Amino acid sequence: MTAGFGFVPMTDEDLSWVVENERELHAFPWSEGNFADSLRAGYNCWVMRDEAEPVAYAVMLTVIDEAHLLNISVARTVQRRGIGGKLLEYLSSEAQRAGAIQFFLEVRPSNTAALALYERHGFVAIGRRKGYYPAADGRREDAIVMRREL
């Protein structure tokens, strides 16, 4: 881990920062209730900090031998500095520690930065979910399903 960076379990106290960033980063953001429900359900919810300041967050579900990345986001002010990759590698190690041997995620085809990040970290496209995401003007956007062997 890079000096200064740390990973801490997300708590209710983090939700205001997380939701504020979620709204800034995504056209169709998760609600505070989505994050609170994830915490209550026992999902793996993390906040990445640079010293004391939060810079990124993620929600991952691990079931039996599979991990599913549900949300990963890096604050706009610190994007393009490798933080997403550090968080993704941390999540991969946590998934392995929990017994996962495969790591899955969905990503919008239009999110080229995320696609490049996932490919750099060993994820490969294995399928497509038609009309998975809400999009502008009431339309729907497909999701690319990706997998990484752990």
Give the 3-state secondary structure percentages of the chain, helix then strand then coil, rounded to 5: 35, 40, 25
89 belongs to the catalytic site: no
| Dist. CA 81–CA 86, nearest whole Å | 10
| Dist. CA 28–CA 9, nearest whole Å | 24
C-beta separation of 57 from 47 below 8 A: yes
Residue given tokens 């881990």 in the structure block:
1
β strands within the chain, DSSP E: 5-9, 44-50, 53-63, 66-74, 102-107, 124-134, 140-149
106 belongs to the catalytic site: yes
Tell how strand 66-74 and strand 102-107 pair up: parallel
Q: Which residue of the set 66, 106, 132, 141 is catalytic?
A: 106
Q: Which residue of the set 43, 57, 90, 118 is catalytic?
A: 118
List residues with catalytic annotation: 106, 118
